[in-house]
Amino acid sequence: MIESEFVPPEIDWLALAPLIVVLGAGVVGVLIEAFVPAKARRATQIVLTLAALAGGFAFVAVLWPQIVAQPVQVLGGSLTLTPFALGAQGIIAVLAFLGVLVVADRTATGQDAFAPTASAVPGTSYEDLARRSGLEQTEIYPLLLFAAGGMMLFASTDDLIVMFIALEVLSLPLYVLCATARRRRLLSQEAAAKYFLLGAFASALFIFGVALIYGFAGTVRLLEIAQRLQQGLPLEGMSVLLVAGVLLVVVGLLFKVGAVPFHAWTPDVYTGAPTPITGFMAACTKVAAVAALVQVLYRVSIGVQAVDPEIMRQLQMVIVVVAVLTMAVGTVVGSVQTDVKRLLAYSSIAHAGFLLVGVAGFNAQVQSSTLFYLIAYGIATIGAFGVVTLVRERRVTPGAGEHNGPVGDDGVVLGEATEIAQWAGLGRKAPWLTAAFALFLLSMAGIPLTAGFIAKFGAFTGATTGGLWWLAVLGVLASVVAVAFYLRLLVVMVFQRAQDDPAEPQVKLAEATPGAAPGEAEVSTSGAVSTGATTGAGATATLTTVQVTTAQRIEVTVVRSRGPAAVAIAVCALATVILGVFPSPVLALVEQASKFVP
Amino acid sequence: MFPWLTALIAWPLVGAALVGLSALGRSRTGPASAGVGLARPLALLFSLVEVALLVGAFAAFDTGAAAEHQLGATYAWIPQIGVSYAVAVDGVGLLLVALAVVLVPLVLLAAWKEQGRDEVRLRRFVGLVLLLEAFMVAVFCARDVFLFYVLFEAMLIPAYFLIGGFGQGAGRRKAAVKFLMFSLGGGLIMLAAVIALYFLGVSAGVDPSRAFLVDELVAVDLGTTAERLMFVGFFIAFAIKAPMVPVHSWLPDVAGNATPGTSTLLICVLDKVGTFGMLTLCLPLFPEASRWAAPLVIALAVISVLYGAIMAIMQTDLLRLVGWTSVSHFGFIILGIFTFTPLGTAGSSFMMLNHGLATGALFLVAGFLVSRHPEKSQKIADYSGLRSVTPVLAGTFLVAGLATLSLPGLATFVSEIMVLVGAFGGSPAGSAGWAIAAVPGVVLAAVYVLLTYQKIFTGAPAAGLEALPDLRLRERVVAAPLVVGLLVLGLVPGLALTYVDAPAEQSVALTTVDEPADDATQMGSDQ
């Protein structure tokens, strides 16, 4: 062999820095599990995780001017940092940071959303003992870091094999995290199993697609594929390899995006996973998957467009059809949900559809509007799931101290109250929290003066620029349906009286308008009936009926968090408003992201 | 120059933030009457200072050039997508701003005893009212299509909470959702047209960073099909808001379930955005399409006039009745706009103001009446013979009612005659016939007003109503400015007409097809 001498590759370490920081911290986190004493472990992990994500973002910020001026390829294209990819990395780091804040939250009695040991039943003295003796699942923090690192790589690679590896790096931790819920354990494990099976299936399709593309082009690098197509690689008779390969890769990505018809896992997984994980997953995975999808589609399209516009048109048609289906299923099925987490899951599907409307426009501006959409969607999603983690059931027992679980101020705090009917009257119990949640809903619905409106405007503009004005009109119509179901939740929260609310407001109302009282009673009764019905019907609901007995009573409460979740929600709410009213600075930033199209 | 319009927009926002946000902090655990009762006085103070600002704006406005948009300010807002913060008013816009600004303190004063004594709830209530005021003022000033759209939609949120959270009917939540769905649906259709307008504007050579400015877009020649499609997009949104048959059905529900004060703001001011939008956006931006659609629009307008009046006669609920009369009156306003005569358009502009005063008075007085009933009944049949019991209330109601039926000597008479005469000589084919068809609307108005008055105020007092108190000082203070306004503008209509005549002539000139339109395109291509 001539090249027996080892030639070390030239590596731009700075370009790799965001990834190295996040993934490296993940490795350190594993070591912490082994060496740091149990008492200090959780605090160390949280600090390390947040610091790593902040550090990752800081490196992104440092790199930004350099990359905007000149994109770089590192390690032979395994990492291709375009402004778009770097932007996606930055967004993932920020959203993951906010997500980890929600994950790290604990109630006043020190419980979080995760099971301390696999066999501990929530609320028992055994669990409490396990927790006190330090048997906490602090592995979740390194797992989160690995997932975040995988996402950042996923969004910024040009090599399909590296993309596949990144896909697995981000997916495997998420499969595990889905199974760690403290309550509704079976649902959580079922969710993990479903996610794993379907995810593995999607991965298989993806890698099969990569194989076909390699068979056609002799390379797995997207830019090289585009170049070879432009140089006139023979398409006759072979185009089926390319088309089938690209479609399979796209299917694998659409699965991660959660687009119809590859969405079936979304509602179950989002419902079953611990809510903080759901928020993290819903926001960050979508960013990574959409970013990867945009890169694959646009890079391939450069080459295909030059050779055979017909194939290009068909590819666009596929995305259009998926976008329409996704919007339709997301909004229509979403509007009949009775569970807040499932509703948010369908909302996330609908948003995948709106994102694809923009992507289907196939033009450079779409890259920046997509990034903006992902920011707006991500902060609203993390905020909304953060709120869900704080709305709990509470068992009020006379003589509360005797109960076997950890006891808060008054009564035992149980799991999350995710039935929509249970959210009635939240506006009175927790005005700020409700205001924040209403803001997230309005942003998701795309009401002006929130970030969601600017985002939707960008997506529809992108489709119109691409000549798909009718798709934009369909998107607008789907938005109307979506508004209806966000509104339903809003009405319950703000206008309906809680079933466990004492009669005090009734008196006040009677004084203002006596005619209204019978209508009130009617509404709350029907609410109770529907709650009961759903409990019987689905396994999703646990203890959701409101039992007004003398022995004990379950009511809905908002737990006082130790702080981090509240901080995350506040930041998300503030960002939603600021991005809605003064989006210019951020729009200017993401606009730089579309400077280099490939 | 002092930025009057920006100040008018910002001041209520400051008030809303101060009063409203302080309410969010307290949860509702304590007894209902916590707090020091500052919410209403503070809000009233803010709204009165706003009136002072309005006086300043009137002083700065040059009535000699009422057709031009004055007191303007333009700043880049989101330059990336060509959105500007551009505000300016012509005479019509200024009158509508005045209507909004004047009605808010009256509504606050009228609602002084409503909504209980719970300070937190009150702060939210007045916070929402002030927020709505800021949005309403801003939407009448907006000279950027995107800004207009944003405000058009954002306005719905406080209105929605005012109806659903603070209404007095049992069906208030349903009414609120219905209102929001209708308006948002229309708004989103308009959004599609707004996006299209942006693209056509940019491709026609408008500077992309100013691509939503009305003044830039007026000069763009859109092409027949696109222009018509976009006209339809805008018009549906405005017709829903106006409200016009057949998309009016949210209005009676809202009127019957919201508080009279909310209804006043909503129907007398907020809904004017619909007709105002037709006048200041549809006509100048889509002149050819406006003429193309005029026959259908006029027909629907006249149907609104008659249908609204007939439905009003059949109502048993007092507040719903007032709501239906508005459907009828909005029909007149739209009729006037689409006759393309200076007289009709000026009449419509004037009528937007008058309808706000007359219907506002009617809503508020009806609200005073309902609040006196021991069971707060809104049923007309539950009242009778109140003239002898509450003479001042009866008199005020009669004046407001007579204004609604356009009695000569009151301002509404002038504007209605202007609209009808304008329509008679209107240029769209058959508009004279439609004008004649609309005349029975005037007669029907007399029927619903006088019948209602007769049922409620004449005869022997109903059992339990013999000792109702008459209008208190506070309530007289609320009713007096409206009644005085109607009388003064009826006797000296020139006070308001100086503001609307010139804009009307200009708008008619813009929609006259041949020479002026060509000039406009010439000017556009010269740039």
* Residue range B286-344, pLDDT digits in tens: 988 888 998 899 999 999 999 999 999 998 898 999 999 999 999 999 999 998 888 98
Whether residue A459 contacts residue A350, with contact meaning beta carbons closer than 8 Å, is answered with: no
CA A474 to chain centre: 24
On whether any CB of chain B is under 8 Å from the CB of A454, the answer is yes
Does residue A491 or residue A353 have the better pLDDT?
A353
Please report which helix (H) or strand (E) contains residue B481, including its range.
helix B473-491
For residue A536, tell me if it sits in a domain.
no
CB contact under 8 A, B375 and A515: yes
Residue contact A476–B188, C-beta within 8 A: yes
| Rounded Cα–Cα distance for residues A156 and A296 (Å) | 11
pTM as predicted: 0.86
| CA B476 to mean position of chain CA atoms | 23
Query: A385 lies in a domain?
Result: yes
Residue A260 within any structural domain of the chain: yes
How many domains in chain A?
1
Query: Is A581:A449 a contact under the CB 8 Å cutoff?
Result: yes
Q: Give the structural domain span for A113.
A: 13-501+555-593
| pLDDT of the residue at A134 | 64
Residues A114-129: what's their mean pLDDT? 70
Q: Which of A449, A469, A511 sits opposite B150 (nearest CB)?
A: A449
Concatenated DSSP letters of A382-415: HHHHHHHHHEEEEEE-SSGGGSSS---SSSEEEE
According to the model, what pLDDT value does residue B324 have? Answer: 92
Query: Which stretch of DSSP H or E encloses residue A165?
Result: helix A160-178
What was the pLDDT predicted at A404?
41
The pLDDT value recorded for residue A216 is 86
Closest alpha carbon within chain B to A492: B173
Q: Is A447 inside any structural domain?
A: yes
| Contact yes or no for A172/A26 (Cβ under 8 A) | no
- Token code pair at residue B482: 């409206």
Residues 6+ apart with CB under 8 A from A169: A146, A147, A149, A150, A153, A154
Least confident of A39-48, A337-346, A360-369, B84-93: A360-369
Question: pLDDT for A258-313, tens place per residue?
Answer: 998 899 899 999 999 999 999 999 999 999 999 999 989 888 888 887 777 888 88
Helix (H, G, I), strand (E, B) or coil at B126: helix
Q: How many CB atoms lie within 10 A of CB B490?
A: 20
For β-strands B83-89 and B70-78, DSSP reports them as antiparallel
Contact present, A301 and A315 (Cβ < 8 Å): yes
Q: Does A581 touch chain B (CB under 8 A)?
A: no
B 353-392 residues with CB < 8 A to A: 375-377
Which of 168-187 (B) contact A at CB < 8 A?
Answer: 168-173, 176-177, 180-181, 184-185
SS3 category, B242: coil
Q: Residues B434-455: what's their mean pLDDT?
A: 89
Residue A336 lies in a domain: yes
Q: Which residue has the higher pLDDT, A333 or A309?
A: A333
Q: Which two tokens stand for residue B243?
A: 């409200």
Residue A541 lies in a domain: no
**pLDDT beyond 80 at A411:** no
DSSP 8-state symbol, B143: -
Q: Are A105 and A389 in contact (CB under 8 A)?
A: yes
Task: Read off the tokens for B460.
Answer: 């022997």
CA distance B508 to chain A (A): 32
Q: Using an 8 Å Cβ cutoff, are A481 and A349 in contact?
A: no
- Name which of B446, B243, B253, B444 is nearest B331 in CA terms: B243
For residue A442, list chain B residues with Cβ-Cβ distance below 8 A. 157
pLDDT at position A195: 94
Structure tokens at B52: 């002072």
| pLDDT tens-digit series, residues A231-254 | 876 666 677 888 899 999 999 999
- Give the chain B residue whose CA is nearest to the CA of A457: B195
- DSSP 3-state helix, strand, coil percentages of chain A (rounded to 5)? 70, 5, 25
Q: How much is the pLDDT for B36? A: 57
In B290-329, the residues whose Cβ lies within 8 Å of chain A are: none
pLDDT, mean of residues B273-294: 90
Is residue A386 included in any domain, yes or no? Answer: yes
Backbone φ and ψ for B181, nearest 5 degrees, come out as -65, -45
> In angstroms, rounded to a whole number, what is the distance separating the alpha carbons of residues A458 and A368?
9
Q: In three state form, how does the secondary structure of A45-71 look?
A: HHHHHHHHHHHHHHHHHHHHHHHHHCC
Token pair of B101 as six digits: 């600004």
CB contact B199 to A (< 8 Å): yes
Whether A110 has its CB under 8 Å from any CB of chain B: the answer is: no
Query: In the 8-state DSSP scheme, what is residue A136?
Result: -
Q: Is residue A535 part of a domain?
A: no
Question: Residue A118 has which token pair?
Answer: 């696999």
- CA geometry: angle A402, A403, A408, nearest 5 deg: 100
Smallest Cβ distance to B164: which of A477, A491, A511?
Answer: A491
State the pLDDT at residue B140: 93
Query: Greater confidence, A536 or A442?
Result: A442
Angle, nearest 10°, between helix axes B156-166 and A469-495?
30
Report whether pLDDT(A364) > 90: no
Query: Residue A548: beta bridge partners?
Result: A553
Which residue shows structure tokens 């896992």? A265
Lowest mean pLDDT among A156-160, A394-398, B182-186, B516-520: B516-520
Average pLDDT, integer, range A392-398: 72
Q: Is some CB atom of chain B closer than 8 A to the CB atom of A439?
A: no
Give dist(CA A406, CA B377) in Å, integer.
Answer: 52
CB distance B81–A461 less than 8 Å? yes
Smallest CA-to-CA distance from B465 within B359, B384, B348, B364 is with B384
Whether A464 sits inside 8 A of B195 (CB atoms) is yes
Interface contact A442-B157, CB threshold 8 A: yes
Q: What letter represents residue B494's amino acid? A: G
How far B308 CA sits from the closest chain A CA (Å)?
27
Q: Which of B25, B115, B189 sits opposite A512 (nearest CB)?
A: B115
| Cα–Cα distance measured from residue A64 to residue A58, given in angstroms and rounded to the nearest whole number | 10
The answer to whether the Cβ–Cβ distance between A448 and B149 falls below 8 Å is: yes
**Residue range A18-43, pLDDT digits in tens:** 999 999 999 999 999 889 888 888 88
Question: What is the interface size between A and B, counted as CB pairs within 8 Å?
Answer: 122
Using the Cβ of A502 and the Cβ atoms of chain B, whether some distance falls under 8 Å is answered with: no
CB within 8 Å: A483 and B181: yes
Give the Cα separation of A76 and B130 in Å (integer).
Answer: 60
Contacts of B165 in chain A (CB under 8 A): 494-495
Interface test with B, best of A327, A429, A470, A476 (most B CBs within 10 A): A476
